[in-house]
Amino acid sequence: MLDAQARLGNFNQRGVATQELNQKGFCAAHPSIPINSRVNVLNPSNGREIIVSITGRIPASTDRIIDLSPEAADVLKISKGDIVALTILAYPDDADFPVAAEPEAETAAVNPNPQTDNMALFMMMMMEAREAREAREAREDRAIREAREAREAREAREAREARIAKEEREEREQKAAKEARDLSEALIDALREEREAREALEARLAKDESEREEREQRIARETREALMEELDAREAAVREELASRDAAAREEQAARDAQAAKDAQAARDLQAAIDAQAARDAQAARDAQAAKDAAAMLSEAEPPEEDPCLPPPDPLAVAPPPLPPAASAPPVPSFPPPIPALEMEIIPGLPNPNNGKRYHLQLGAFSSRDTAVNTALKANTLGFDTLLEYGGSLYRVLTTAIPSAMVYSAVQRLGSMGFWQIIVREAIQ
């Protein structure tokens, strides 16, 4: 029976598949399909199918119809207890179909005509097999149809979903493209407006700049002309002032030179008088010393003989008084060589002659009072009012209350008397 069943064409089976075969590749084990046969295995639950080779046997059972290798089971995505459908594609050339076991001797003894019984049994089995095959094929066709319908429904659903997704995507893309186009147009409009505004602003700024430059040039030209006029006027005024100052300076210099000559002549006359008086005093001292020496010599000599013709000396007569010593003249200060005004040291400098102020001119600071008095006498001979100021163990000699316009001439006069350092101090009113 099994031999006849195995030789039937379009052999299909439907049943439970397991995964216990421990072999590599797409292979499987079956109870009756010849070894090395090629079988198509379909998983109706997901529509996956694969072609495997029969490489082994499993016991015949109502629980399963095939045992798959791990790779085949993984491709079909089957789990424990899943239903599969088998279709034989090709038998090998040396197919070894299973042979039914021979009936036992006891059975042959019971049936005197075993060939007839076997034929009847074979016919019955053929009919049962055909009925079973037809029922199985109907079931498998139904399962295949259902799987195909499910696959078609799934494919239709997937196609519908893909179409819907494509339409939604295209709609989104169109919407995004429209928004991008609108945004781009708005941006372009904004940029154009901004460029126009910037160009207008630049034009206005350029115009303002040109107007400002013209205004500045006009103001600079007017200012330059006014400054030139003012400079010309100032230059003329300065020339006049310088001319008047030169004239005044020449007159003042002439007056100073005359005064200096007069002061020098007075100093020379005074020095000559002092020298003459000193000579007279020295001559008087020499004469007095000579008389004293002569009297001393006479007193040491013998008394002269009395002249009988002369009267005797009067004891009441009084000897003439001695000559009074010559009066010593007051000390006259000596003057060092004159110093030019350009070589003098004026601290902190000459004041403005037109400020209307008065100044003290300090001639020096001395630790000795006699030296300070002698310096004050020198200044007095030039006609200055002097003042001695004492402080910090020093005597300072000041010429007082000199107007600002007369400071320069006073400095020149002091330089002619040998004063080389002058300190100018403002007089406190």
pLDDT digits (tens, 9 = 90+) for 27-69: 999 998 889 989 999 998 888 999 999 999 998 887 788 999 9
1 in Cβ contact with 48 (< 8 Å): no
- pLDDT, residue 116, reads 56
Neighbours of 267 (CB within 10 A): 18
Q: Which residue has the higher pLDDT, 106 or 160?
A: 160
How does DSSP classify residue 389?
E
The number of folded domains in the chain is 3
Last residue of a domain, one of 101, 134, 150: 101
Q: Are residues 45 and 121 in the same domain?
A: no
347-380 per-residue burial string, b: 16 or more CB within 10 A, e: under 16: eeeebebeeebbbbbbbbebeeeeebbbbbebbe
Q: pLDDT band for position 424 (50/70/90)?
A: very high
Range of the domain at 88: 2-101
Q: Are residues 233 and 167 in the same domain?
A: yes
Q: How far apart are CA 389 and CA 368, in angstroms?
A: 12
The first and second tokens of residue 121, run together, are 């049994």
Last residue of a domain, one of 200, 218, 249: 249
Tell me whether residue 41 is in a domain: yes
The mean per-residue pLDDT over the stretch 320-334 comes to: 43
Range of lowest pLDDT (106-120, 125-139, 353-367, 410-424) = 106-120
User: Which of 43, 57, 129, 26 lies closest to 87 in space, CA to CA?
Assistant: 43
Tell me whether residue 217 is in a domain: yes
Q: Are residues 353 and 415 in the same domain?
A: yes
What Cα–Cα distance (Å) separates residue 53 from each residue in 72, 83, 199, 352?
A: 10, 19, 84, 132
Tell me whether residue 423 is in a domain: yes
Q: pLDDT band for position 429 (50/70/90)?
A: low
Q: How far apart are CA 255 and CA 234, in angstroms?
A: 30
Tell me whether residue 260 is in a domain: no
Tell me whether residue 279 is in a domain: no
Q: Is the pLDDT of residue 300 over 70?
A: no
Q: Are residues 41 and 139 in the same domain?
A: no
Tell me whether residue 274 is in a domain: no
Burial class (CB in 10 A: 0-12, 13-18, 19+), 23: middle
Instruction: Give the CATH number, domain containing residue 400.
Output: 3.30.70.1070
Burial class (CB in 10 A: 0-12, 13-18, 19+), 116: exposed
Secondary structure of 45-72 as H, E, C letters: CCCEEEEEEEEECCCCCCCCCEEECHHH
| Full-model pTM | 0.26
- Beta strands at 38-43 and 48-56: parallel, antiparallel or unpaired: antiparallel
Last residue of a domain, one of 70, 101, 132: 101
Tell me whether residue 261 is in a domain: no
- pLDDT, residue 257, reads 82
The mean per-residue pLDDT over the stretch 94-101 comes to: 47
Taken in order 284, 285, 289, 292, the sign of the CA dihedral is: positive
Q: How far apart are CA 176 and CA 170, in angstroms?
A: 9
Q: Are residues 25 and 84 in the same domain?
A: yes
Q: Are residues 42 and 126 in the same domain?
A: no
Half-sphere exposure of 138 (CA within 13 A, CB side): 5
